[in-house]
Amino acid sequence: MGSPNALGVTNEFDVAQVKKFAKQMRRDIVTMLAEAKSGHPGGSLSACDCVATLYKGGVLRHNPKEPNNPARDRFILSKGHAAPVLYAALAGEGYFPREWLMTLRKLDSHLQGHPDMRKCPGVEVSTGSLGQGLSIASGLALGLSIDAAHKGCEPQKVFVLMGDGELQEGMVWEAAMFAAHRNLKNLIAIVDNNNLQIDGHLTDVVSLGNIAQKFESFGWHAIEVKDGNSIPECYEALCAARDYAQGPCVVVLHTIKGKGVSFMEDQAGWHGKAPSIQELSVALADIDGLSEEAE
Amino acid sequence: MADAAPRATREAFGATLIELVKDGYPVVAVDADLAGSTTTKKLGDYDPERLFDAGIAEQDMIGIAAGLALTDRIAYTASFAVFGTGRCYDQIRNTVCYGNLNVKICPTHAGLSVGPDGGSHQMVEDIALMSVLPNMRVLVPADYESAAAAIRLAAQTPGPVYVRMGRAKVPQVYEPGFKMTPGGSRLLREGKDVTLVACGLMVNEALVAAQSLAEKGIEAEVIDAYSVKPLDEAAILASAKKTGFVITCEEHSVIGGLGSQVATLLAAKQPTRMKFIGVQDRFGTSGELKELLRRYDCDAEAIIAAAIEA
C-alpha cells in the first residue's frame, strides 16, 4: 500500500494517523450536530472508523484536489442519514473548508441534511431514501468495469456503505441478486451492523438473521469483522474485500451505535437526535479520552 | 399520413436506440424482464453491452440506470408504465430527479392501450406522477414517428426525461423524419371555434373529431402538446385567445395530466372555458383499446360531443 495510487496520491496505512483522524471526525460529528440542533449521531459514530479507514487509511483511491478524477474509486453512503460521518471525512481530507461543517442542515448550506451530489464536492450520488445505494453502486461498477475492459485496465472500485436496518428494504436484495449475476468484481458492500434502528433493536423490530450468510446465499463473498470499530480490523477486511477478485464482496462490520460517546452507545434514542450544548461537552470529553495509540 | 399502416409507439423505442448508438450517443438501456415487449431487446441484439436486464425488479432497474448514468452513459429504463413509474417512484424521485441524473424513464404499455390485461396494468396516472417531479421533462408521443423523435430528443436533453409509449398500433400522424423541439408542440389543424389540445394517441382522435366537427360547421384547432412538461405555453395561450374554448384530450386520468396542466396555465394567465376528455378518476378494465376508449369517453365521439355541447 506504500506506492502512489492511480491518482498519484500516497496514503500509507498508519494506524495511529487513522485513529487520530477518526477521533477528529467524531469531534466534528457531535459538534456539527449540536450546532445544527438536529441530525443523526448514532449511525454516524458507528460507521466512523470504517469511513476513516477508507478515506485516510489508503483503501479508497481518491484525491481531494481532483474530486471528479475519473480514475478515482467511488464511495456511496447509502445510509444517507449518516451524512455527518461523510462530511467529517471529506472536510478532514480537504474536499471543502472545515467552516462548512458548522453550516450543516442550515439554509443554503452545501451540507444538506442528507448528502446532495449537486451541492457538496466529494459526494458521488445523492442519497437519503434507504435501500437505493447498492443498486446505484451496481450500475456504477458495471459501467466502470465495461469501460476498463475496453481500455484493458483494472476497473475502479465502488464501495457502498449500508446500515443494517436498511437491509430490510427489499430493493437491497434485488441489487444483491443482480450484482452476483453480473459477477461485479469491483463492487464492495459494507454493512454497518450496529443492530439498532429507530424503533429499537433489529432483533426486536424485524430480525435479519445472519447477514453474511444471507449475502453468501445470494452468491457474494462475505467477510465479517468482529469489531467494526477497530481500525486495524476494518483495514484488514476492507483491503481483503477490495482485492477479492472473484465477484462482489460484502464486509459486515459489527459495530456499536453511538460508538465513542458514553451516553449514546447502543441507544436507539440517539439515532436521530442532536446533543444539547451540555451534552456536547460530555461527548467531547468522552471522545478526548479515546485512545490514539496503535493497537 | 393516413396511408401508412398503424404502428405502436413502443416499436420506435429499440429501433431509435440503435440509431442513436450509430450516431455516437453513449446510450444504454435497462429493462425489467420485458425487453421483447418494450423492444429494448433490439438494442441488446445489436450490442449486448448496451442492454442490461434487472429481472423483475423495477426499483433495481432505476438504481442500475442511475449508476450507469454516473459513468457518462445516457441510461434509458423501460418496463411497462405501471411498473416503470409507480413501482419505482421513490427511486425516480430521490435518485434520478433529486440528483438530476441523465436517466430517461421510457416505459411502454401506458394508458388504456394495454387493453385486455385490465385495470391492474392500465396506467392512467403516470403523466401526473412524472410531471410533479422537479427536473423531469415529460414527452407524450402520438405515433411511431413522434415516439422516435421523443426518444431522440431525450438523448439530446440533459437530465431526466419521461417518454410515454403505448402497446397498441395507432394511426400515423407524422411523416418520417419528424423532429420534436424542446418544450414544443405542433399545430396540426387551424380553427376558430374550439381548441383541442391533445397528447399521445388522443391526437389522432382529436384530428378525426375535428374532421367531423367541420362537417357540422364547427372549426376546431388541433394542437399536439407532445411536451406535456414543460408545456408550449405560447402556442396554447395564443390558440385559447383565438377560440375562447379549450378541450384537453388525453388517455390518462383527468387529474394531474395534460388537462390539469393546461388548466393551471390558463387559470393563471388567461382564464378560458375548458372541458376535459380523459379517464374520470377511475381504474381501467379489460377490453380492446377501441372499446375502452369508448367506455371511458376518450375517443373522437366524446370529443365531438364535448365540442357540440358548448
**Chain B partners within 8 Å of A74 (Cβ):** 70
Closest in A128, A142, A174 to B59, CB measured? A174
Q: Report the residue of chain A nearest B99, measured CA to CA.
A: A126
Whole-number Å distance between alpha carbons of A151 and A164: 36
Per DSSP, the residues of B199-266 read -TTHHHHHHHHHHHHHHTT--EEEEE--EEES--HHHHHHHHHHHSEEEEEEEEESSSSHHHHHHHHH
Indicate the pLDDT class of residue B23, thresholds 50, 70 and 90. very high
What digits encode the pLDDT tens for the residues A199-245? 999 999 999 999 999 999 999 999 999 999 999 999 999 999 999 99
Residue listed under C-alpha cell 376508449? B293
Residue A165 falls inside a structural domain: yes
Burial B9-35 (b: 16+ CB within 10 A, else e): bbbbbbbbbbbbbeeeebbbbbbbbbb
Distance CA A210, CA A213 (A): 5
Tens of pLDDT along B281-293? 999 999 999 999 9
d(CA B10, CA B114): 12
* Arithmetic mean of pLDDT, B227-242: 98
**ipTM given for this complex:** 0.95
Q: Please identify which of the residues B19, B58, B250, B301 carries the catalytic annotation.
A: B58
Backbone Cα Rg of chain A: 18
Which grid coordinates belong to A90? 471529506
H/E stretch holding A253 reads strand A249-254
Active-site residue flag, B205: no
Query: pLDDT at position A295, please?
Result: 58
CB B46 within 8 A of CB B18: yes
Task: Tell whether the model's pLDDT for residue A81 goes beyond 60.
Answer: yes
Mean pLDDT over residues B142-157, rounded? 98
Arithmetic mean of pLDDT over chain A: 95
- CB-CB: which of A135, A144, A177 is closest to B71? A144
What amino acid is encoded at B37 in this protein?
A: S
Contact list in A for residue B134 (CB cut-off 8 A) is none
Q: How far apart are CA A92 and CA A99, in angstroms?
A: 11
Asked if the model's pLDDT at residue A118 lies above 50, the reply is yes
Instruction: Output the pLDDT for position B309.
Output: 87
Q: Residue B120: its pLDDT value, please? A: 97
Share of chain B above pLDDT 70, in %: 99
Q: Which of A76, A114, A132, A218 to mutate to test the interface with B (most CBs of B within 10 A)?
A: A132
**A15 lies within 8 A of chain B by CB:** no
pLDDT by residue (tens digit) across B48-100? 999 999 999 999 999 999 999 999 999 999 999 999 999 999 999 999 999 99
CATH 3.40.50.920 residue window(s) in chain B: 186-308
Which residues from chain A sit within 8 angstroms of residue B70, using beta carbons?
74, 124-125, 136, 139-140, 143
Assigned C-alpha cell, B216 = 357540422
Residue A39: inside a domain, yes or no?
Answer: yes
Handedness of CA A232, A238, A244, A247 (dihedral sign): positive
Integer CA distances (angstroms), B11 to A72, B16, B45, B199, in order: 39, 9, 15, 18
**What CATH number is given for B186-308 in this structure?**
3.40.50.920
Question: What distance in Å separates the CA atoms of residue A118 and residue A126, rounded to the nearest whole number?
Answer: 8
In chain B, which residue's Cα lies nearest the Cα of A160?
A: B67
According to DSSP, the β-strands at B220-224 and B186-189 are antiparallel
Domain with CATH 3.40.50.970 in chain B: 7-170
Q: Is residue A4 part of a domain?
A: no
| Structural domain span for residue A67 | 15-288
Side chain identity at residue B196, one-letter code: L
Cα A258 to the chain's mean position, in Å? 14
CB contact under 8 A, B95 and A177: no
CATH number, domain containing residue A48: 3.40.50.970
Q: Residue with C-alpha cell 375517443?
A: B299
Q: How confident is the model at residue B32 (pLDDT cuts 50, 70, 90)?
A: very high
How deeply is B3 buried, as exposed, middle or buried, from its count of CB atoms within 10 A (0-12, 13-18, 19+)? Answer: exposed
- What pLDDT, on a 0 to 100 scale, did the predictor assign at position A294? 65
Give the total number of structural domains in chain A.
1
Q: CA–CA separation, A173 vs A128, rounded Å? A: 18
Mutate to test the interface with B, among A73, A78, A126 (most CBs of B within 10 A): A126
Question: What is d(CA B150, CA B308) in angstroms, rounded to the nearest whole number?
Answer: 33
Residue A7's pLDDT is 73
Q: Distance between CA B268 and CA B250 in Å, rounded?
A: 21
Q: What is the pLDDT of residues A147-169, one digit of tens each?
A: 999 999 999 999 999 999 999 99
Q: Are B138 and B257 in contact (CB under 8 A)?
A: no
In the predicted structure, residue B198 carries a pLDDT above the cut 50: yes
Using a CB-CB cut-off of 8 Å, the residues of chain B touching A125 are 66, 70, 95, 99
Q: Which residues pair with B76 in a beta bridge?
A: B29, B104
Mean pLDDT of B200-223: 98
Output the CA angle A267-A192-A270, nearest 5 degrees: 20
The enclosing H or E element of A252 equals strand A249-254
Helix (H, G, I), strand (E, B) or coil at A23: helix
Please state, in angstroms and rounded to a whole number, the distance separating the CA atoms of residues A18 and A58. Answer: 10
| Nearest to B293, CA basis, from B279, B309, B276 | B279
Residue B310 half-sphere exposure toward CB, CA atoms < 13 A = 20
Partner-chain contact A175 B63, CB within 8 Å: yes
Q: Does the B7-170 domain belong in CATH 3.40.50.970?
A: yes
Spatial neighbors of B149 by CB under 8 A, at least 6 apart, are B141, B174, B178, B179, B180
**Is the peptide bond between B230 and the residue preceding it cis, with omega within 30 degrees of 0?**
yes
Phi/psi at A136 (5° precision): -60, -45
Cell (9 digits) for B212: 367531423
- Would the pLDDT of A269 be above 90? yes
- For residue A190, the model assigns a pLDDT of 98
Q: Is the predicted pLDDT of residue B29 greater than 50, yes or no? A: yes
Say yes or no to pLDDT of B3 above 70: no
Q: Does residue A2 register a pLDDT over 50? A: no
- pTM exceeds 0.80 for this model: yes
Edge-first strand listing for the sheet containing B27-31: B51-53, B27-31, B74-77, B103-105, B161-163, B137-139, B227-229
pLDDT band at residue A4 under the 50/70/90 scheme: very low
Helical ranges in A58-132 per DSSP H: 83-93
